[in-house]
Amino acid sequence: MTALEPFGARLRRAMDERGPLCVGIDPHASLLAEWGLDDDVAGLERFSRTVVEAMADRVAVLKPQSAFFERFGSRGVAVLEKSVEEARAAGALVVMDAKRGDIGSTMAAYAEAFLRPDSPLFSDALTVSPYLGYGSLSPAIALARENGTGLFVLALTSNPEGGEVQHAIRADGRTIGATMLAHLTVENSGEGPLGSFGAVVGATLGDLSTYDLDINGPLLAPGIGAQGAKPADLPRVFGAAVRNVVPNVSRGVLRHGPDVVALRDAASRFADEIRAAVSVD
């Protein structure tokens, strides 16, 4: 199979054409209940199918959270496979939110599960954890380069617990989070219009001016909506790198289901607000 155009280039085009919005597919039990669905595989399938139907032909990125499918075992993973396939067929880029991280052959196997073109779970990009050392991601980086896919590396996450690791200061005076950003800058060097190796940076973190976010790659930004961040906050948080931000909204859109029109309207409102905030034409 011929390698895809690099993920960064495909993402830049999708964001420019559809607007810089990533909608999560997070079928946790409380959302299933809000939609009037049972917390079982049938409810999971209905939820996921509805989100894909509503979003995949109009938003730049869909981000399924693998854990909410895995909790139903093989039948849940089968629903995830179908959701990924249908979302990509409709034109959305799929970022698999699995946060995998390990060493050696195990990391390679995780990468193959999501970034190998003949895998049932083949996605355009994968979230990964670098906290066994950035070098532990090498198998995933190599496979992503080979297949035109991408990675989003956890760097400065929106959860309060993340700070005890990510803001820890190394012997060279840099924080762990800053070190991850520096590695990604190297990965994306010379790539255009956008590198394929992004960082996860929370939109709720406030002033990040002490960090160099200009990694020539995308910044996946959770926290818009239910976690308290607003589209208008993005320029203040991300500064000059704001055009490369992929804001992630989950509950803020999903709570409007199961009505497809209401879901689409909610996503459209967020996309318009984000576009205005980051001054993307």
pLDDT tens, 108-162?
999 999 999 999 999 999 999 999 999 999 999 999 999 999 999 999 998 989 9
* CA–CA distance, 123 with 115 (Å, rounded to integer): 6
Tokens 């999708």, residue? 14
What pLDDT is attached to residue 279? 75
Longest dimension (CA), the chain: 53
| Cβ atoms of 189 and 216 closer than 8 Å | yes
- What residues contact 209, with CB distance under 8 A and at least 6 apart? 239
Here the tokens at position 7 are 């993920």
pLDDT at 271 over 60: yes
**Cα torsion for 83, 199, 115, 98, to the nearest 10°?**
-50
Domains of the chain: 7-276 (3.20.20.70)
- What residues contact 57, with CB distance under 8 A and at least 6 apart? 90, 91, 92
pLDDT (average), residues 218-244: 91
Residue 59: which region, alpha, beta or left (left: phi > 0; alpha: psi -120 to 50)? Answer: beta
Here the tokens at position 279 are 């001054």
* % residues pLDDT > 90 (the chain): 94
Q: 184-201, pLDDT tens digit by residue?
A: 999 999 999 999 999 999
Tokens 């926290």, residue? 223
* CA–CA distance, 27 with 250 (Å, rounded to integer): 10
99 is known as an active-site residue:
yes
What pLDDT is attached to residue 231? 94
Burial class of residue 228 in the structure, from the number of CB atoms within 10 Å of its CB (0-12 exposed, 13-18 middle, 19+ buried): exposed
pLDDT at 1 over 60: no
Here the tokens at position 122 are 């083949």
Q: 45-64, pLDDT tens digit by residue?
A: 999 999 999 999 999 999 99
| Cβ atoms of 55 and 64 closer than 8 Å | no
Report CA torsion sign: 63, 210, 238, 253. positive
pLDDT at 2 over 70: no
Helix, strand, or coil (residue 127): strand
What pLDDT is attached to residue 234? 95
Tokens 């869909």, residue? 62
pLDDT at 206 over 80: yes
What pLDDT is attached to residue 147? 97
**Cα torsion for 92, 97, 102, 107, to the nearest 10°?**
-20
| Cβ atoms of 150 and 124 closer than 8 Å | yes
* % residues pLDDT > 70 (the chain): 98
pLDDT (average), residues 27-51: 98
What is the DSSP-derived secondary structure letter of residue 35? Answer: T
Tokens 């060097």, residue? 189
What pLDDT is attached to residue 228? 80
- Say how many C-beta atoms besides its own lie within 10 A of residue 168's C-beta: 11
What pLDDT is attached to residue 101? 97
Average pLDDT, the chain: 96
